[in-house]
Amino acid sequence: MNEADSEEMLLHLFGFGYQKTEVLSEADLVLINTCTIRDHAEHRALSYLGRLAKWKAEKQGRKIIFAGCAAERLGKKVQKRFPQADIVCGAKSLDKFPEILERSSLFKPVNTTENPKENTKKITGQVSIMRGCSCKCAYCIVPYVRGEASSIPPEIVLENCRNKAQNYPEIMLLGQTVNAYNYKGFTFSKLLAEVCKIPEVKRVRFLSPHPVFIKEDFYKVVQDNPKIARHLHLPLQSGSTKVLKDMKRLYTAEEYLQIIKNLKRLDFLISTDIIVGYPTETEEDFKRTLNLVKKCGFSFAYCFKFSPRAGTPAAEIPEISQEIVENRLNILLNEIRECSAVAYKSRIGKTEEILFETKNSGRTSGNLWYRTTTPKAIGSIEQILIKDSNGKILR
């Protein structure tokens, strides 16, 4: 979501004569788009903002925009503590970003007919389809900083997809709970089917689905549309039904496993997010998570130590000792590495559809990496027989 938001903000900045650079000394403006999902992310953003005071003082006219979720959470406190920030634009105000720039006397719109050069790899075009989240997971700050879920009208989404498809073979639909999309009865599955009808779109992905919104019509639309990638990043968070209940995740471990079984029948590979050391997680609960991980056979997982976010119910519960959490995390990471190697090796002997992102490498529909010594056209799709894998890449 943040990458997509950054891209949108950049497009608006292009209208004020800016071009993108990754080199700080060349820059006249730094845009910091922040995350607040974990304490660590917020600290890093703030410490970067702190260090930029020196950069700003070195040349007159340099500007700083501090945007996104940490900006939303901290609000005016940021400008008070870091006067070098010229504009603070919270996540809920990103829709009004162009007006905020116009209102500020710091920026003057320019008339430009030239499109600034894009540095992207031109493989995946990201399209936001909804904003915010109406789930209230007990540990999560997102609903507080992004607001309630609201879906973008399908005609706007499809127009954006058509535009992106001119440059990108793969479309990634984005939303905090992307499959909760519903615009006046126009469901996520209907939207997926419509995106697949765009001739230039070769592959469709989406992030992040919530298990509770996976319904029968989703399986049906997948079967009817081979363009939908056979990979789902489906956050699990815990394999213990008791902890899931404490987290207010709205599904049980058994229900999650059933979804995985349904998806595997359709040849899906599944990756996930897992939180280790949730304050109510016992050793028994953690073992349940390990067991479920083994049963699900994830191709990949982001595993996080629980990070209390002030203002959320979970932050009120005393934390588990860090030593225990660290230990559990290491055990889980080892398990995930093994699962991932198994997922790679399970594809040997199968024909995979590879979308090439470089001349020599690309991703399968199931989101595994493939490498070849025979150069291919970037952005092309080919059916390739997998001969080997070292557990980290297909060949």
In the complex, the residues that contact ligand SF4 under the rule CB under 6 A are 133, 135-137, 140, 142-143, 176-177, 210
Nearer to ligand SF4, 101 or 141 (CB): 141
Q: Pick between residue 135 and residue 317 the one whose CB is nearest to ligand SF4.
A: 135
CB 177 → ligand SF4: shortest distance, Å?
5
Count the helix, strand and coil residues of the chain and give each as a percent rounded to the nearest 5.
Answer: 40, 20, 40
Give the nearer residue to ligand SF4 in terms of CB position, either 4 or 341. Answer: 4
Measured from the CB atom, the residue of 142 and 161 that comes closer to ligand SF4 is 142
Taking Cα atoms as reference points, which of 127, 255, 142, 244 lies closest to residue 194? 127
Closest distance between ligand SF4 and the C-beta of residue 82, in Å?
A: 27
Q: Which residues pair with 273 in a beta bridge?
A: 302
Smallest separation, CB 147 to ligand SF4 (Å): 11
Cα(226)–Cα(197) distance, rounded to whole angstroms? 11
Least distance from ligand SF4 to the Cβ atom of residue 135, Å: 4
Find the radius of gyration of the CA atoms of the chain. 22
CA–CA dist 176, 146 (Å, integer): 9
Write phi, then psi, for 331 (nearest 5 degrees): -60, -45
**In the complex, minimum distance from the CB of residue 290 to ligand SF4, in angstroms, rounded to a whole number:** 21
Comparing CB distances to ligand SF4, the nearer of 142 and 343 is 142
Minimum Å distance from CB 94 to ligand SF4?
Answer: 16
132: left (phi over 0), alpha (psi -120 to 50) or beta: left
Q: Determine the straight-line distance between the first and last CA of the chain, rounded to whole angstroms.
A: 31
Strands 361-364 and 351-356: antiparallel
Nearer to ligand SF4, 89 or 140 (CB): 140
